[in-house]
Chains A and B, each alone.
Chain A
Amino acid sequence: MAIKDYLRQKFFPHMWCPGCGHGIVLNSMLRAVEELGFSKNEIVMVSGIGCSSRISGYVDFHSLHTLHGRALAFATGVKMSQPELNVIVPMGDGDALAIGGNHFIHAARRNIAMTAVVMNNRIYGMTGGQYSPLSGYGAIATTAPYTNIDHDFDIVELSKAAGATYVARTTTYHAQQMTKILKEAILHDGFSVVEVLTQCPTYFGRKNKLGSAADMMEYYKKNTTPIGSKAKAENPDLLERGVFVRKDLPEYCSEYDKVIETAMKGRS
């Protein structure tokens, strides 16, 4: 199936700014689904609120555009009630880890099979450039006009600690790697987290003088490196990308099936 057949073309044009990285994420995501050969009816995309979350409206899957931060909670209901569905949950960094932080760690802890894609542009774009829990110390935002004194999360470390059984990081510059990772994450039988560094030239880039969208992607190219590379050993400041965790642990819905089995036995 052609990529455009996965889109709801009547809902275009999309609402993202010129240069926004989210379109690249959409592209990689659709390629992943296409390469996996899933039918559109097998996929539910659940999103929250923010620029990133509008992605669910543009795809021709079952799409659930929910409340700010709550996508994983809605997704938990979808998945647990109908485990044969593949659930993909695109979220922004503020959506997933500020207002949705609690749902994020608990979904990871349960190891319920779904793919959380954290589109990390380090800013609240939709409301106009306020600092997020991923902006980082020293960033400038419309709510940090002097400087941001909040320290940021490391999404990979947080996900690992919370119990996610698949954790990866990539960027919009590395679109092909992103497709590969997303494919693996979607197939993973457990809670998978994929952090994607995605540029917001309109707010984060402009406020922090990072140049154009292309400049920001160039930055991802120069400042990231594959996990365990020689370059990382030489320059510890580089951010690693690739798959950090790939574990095979009992999945939540399968575990609940065992609860049902026990309960039914006790009854008869």
Chain B
Amino acid sequence: MTDGNIKFVQGNEACVEAALYAGLDFFAGYPITPSTEVAEHMSYRLPQIGGKFIQMEDEISSICAIIGASLTGHKVMTATSGPGFSLMQEGLGYAIMAEIPCVIVNVMRGGPSTGLPTAPSQGDVYQARWGAHGDHAIIALTASNHQDVFSITVDAFNMAETYRTPVILLFDEVIGHMRERLTIPEPGEIPVVGRLRTSVKAGIDYHPYLPREDGRLPMSDFGGQHRYNVTGLVHDMWGFPSNNPSVVHGLLRHLVDKIKNNVDTITRYKEYYLEDARTILISYGSSARSALHIVENRRARGERLGLLELQTIWPFPYGLVEEKCEKARHIVVVEMNMGQVLRAVKRAVHHPERVVLANRIDGVFITPTDIKNILRLIQGKGV
């Protein structure tokens, strides 16, 4: 590693550098606070490596453009925030249905609607999960510092290719805009998953939607030797529209199972002092920084506090949360919303009555003091 690999950057820029590390060469986006720097850095960096950047007319067209570019064999990404993420749900559903690898960054801000453009929030957890209509599974990842933003972004590209699916990066305003140290790994230091292409030769029937034995679907680039149909309609193994009940059933199961059956492989998390913890904080994104601060302070005073930091939000790691919280007397979910991950945690643990929320929803970053106040209540000390 050289000094040149060390940078002092915003989270949004860390995300851009990671995407390039992962092989991204096409980006389409539309300006929106607090994600705009992703587009700005992309417009500067991509042409330097021969990649393409385009600013589209809105977020709808941005996600559509990256899907088109993914089909020609490129690694693609778009970035947005709250209202733009709402507009992208249509294209997101398409990418799920047509199984197009792509990465969508949502640097969360306060909502609903135009909300609080410049203030932090983590209110899009459920929009990431259920924003697109219809039954489906989704992968959504997050991180609490820039080094992790880097590695989780590379992970996002790897998962998008592995499972042929859109992957959402749920960052927040604090992560996006805060500047801190980032060390760019050397090439090869983090594994990068390339596009899996079919080995079927020209002239032999290629079935774009027939999974291999391992469940993966090798692709063929548009412009290549195999011509096939891609549609957002329910389709058969040829990619041709079908309303045959067994085809419909099979496709829906496939779309959900390919993610559901790989929860353990997709799950990323960090844990701090969980072994003997009586009180466990569960957090993610920038909130996890305040949570970690409290945990380390209390540990220094001998209190048995621990932190479970989730990096994979969806599919929710129910098994992991259940196992880690088995012996906890109190579980405090720390997040900047009215209890979105809290809801999933309550479903995961044996004693949902032991789960409480430490949150802020006023556009102000949640501080260690906010969490401390909740801990005092739990311990019967009053605020």
Give the size range of A's interface with the partner: 35 or more
17 cross-chain CB contacts under 8 A: A8-B229, A42-B223, A61-B227, A64-B71, A65-B232, A66-B64, A67-B94, A70-B90, A73-B65, A74-B65, A76-B28, A77-B71, A81-B76, A84-B223, A102-B57, A262-B47, A264-B50
In the assembled complex, which residues on chain B have CB atoms less than 8 Å from the CB atom of A44?
Answer: 222-223
| Least Cβ–Cβ distance between A201 and chain B, in angstroms | 24
A5 to B57, CA, bound (A): 38
A79 to B71, CA, bound (A): 11
Within 8 A of B (CB), among A46-91: 46, 56-57, 60-67, 70, 72-82, 84-85
For A63, the closest partner residue in chain B by CB is: B229
Residues of A participating in the B interface, judged by any CB pair closer than 8 Å: 8, 11, 40-42, 44, 46, 56-57, 60-67, 70, 72-82, 84-85, 102-103, 106, 256, 259-260, 262-264, 266-267
Interface presence of B216 (CB below 8 A): no
A103 to B28, CA, bound (A): 14
Query: Could you tell me if A77 and B91 are in contact, using CB atoms closer than 8 angstroms?
Result: no
For B64, the closest partner residue in chain A by CB is: A73
A262 to B229, CA, bound (A): 37
Interface presence of B109 (CB below 8 A): no
Query: Could you tell me if B57 and A103 are in contact, using CB atoms closer than 8 angstroms?
Result: yes
A57 to B235, CA, bound (A): 11
CB contacts between A and B, total, < 8 Å: 136
Interface presence of B68 (CB below 8 A): yes
- From A11, A66, A77, A102, B58 is in contact (CB under 8 Å) with A102
Known: A106-B61, A267-B48. A66 touches B232 (CB 8 A): yes
Q: Name, among B64, B228, B233, the residue most crowded by chain A CB atoms within 10 Å (CB to CB).
A: B64
Interface presence of B321 (CB below 8 A): no
Interface presence of B224 (CB below 8 A): yes
Residues of B participating in the A interface, judged by any CB pair closer than 8 Å: 25-26, 28, 44, 47-48, 50, 52, 54, 56-58, 60-62, 64-74, 76, 90-91, 94, 222-225, 227-233, 240-241
Query: Could you tell me if A85 and B91 are in contact, using CB atoms closer than 8 angstroms?
Result: no
For B231, the closest partner residue in chain A by CB is: A65
- From B25, B56, B227, A73 is in contact (CB under 8 Å) with B56
| Least Cβ–Cβ distance between A189 and chain B, in angstroms | 18
- From A41, A72, A263, A267, B223 is in contact (CB under 8 Å) with A41
Query: Could you tell me if B231 and A57 are in contact, using CB atoms closer than 8 angstroms?
Result: yes
Known: A256-B52, A260-B47, A267-B48. A74 touches B228 (CB 8 A): no
14 further A-B pairs in the complex, CB-CB below 8 A; given A65-B241, A103-B61, A266-B48: A61-B227, A62-B228, A63-B227, A64-B230, A67-B232, A70-B60, A81-B26, A81-B68, A82-B223, A85-B222, A85-B223, A262-B47, A264-B47, A267-B48
A78 to B222, CA, bound (A): 8
In the assembled complex, which residues on chain A have CB atoms less than 8 Å from the CB atom of B71?
Answer: 62, 64, 77-78
In the assembled complex, which residues on chain B have CB atoms less than 8 Å from the CB atom of A73?
Answer: 56, 60-62, 64-65, 68
In the assembled complex, which residues on chain B have CB atoms less than 8 Å from the CB atom of A61?
Answer: 227
Query: Could you tell me if A85 and B72 are in contact, using CB atoms closer than 8 angstroms?
Result: yes
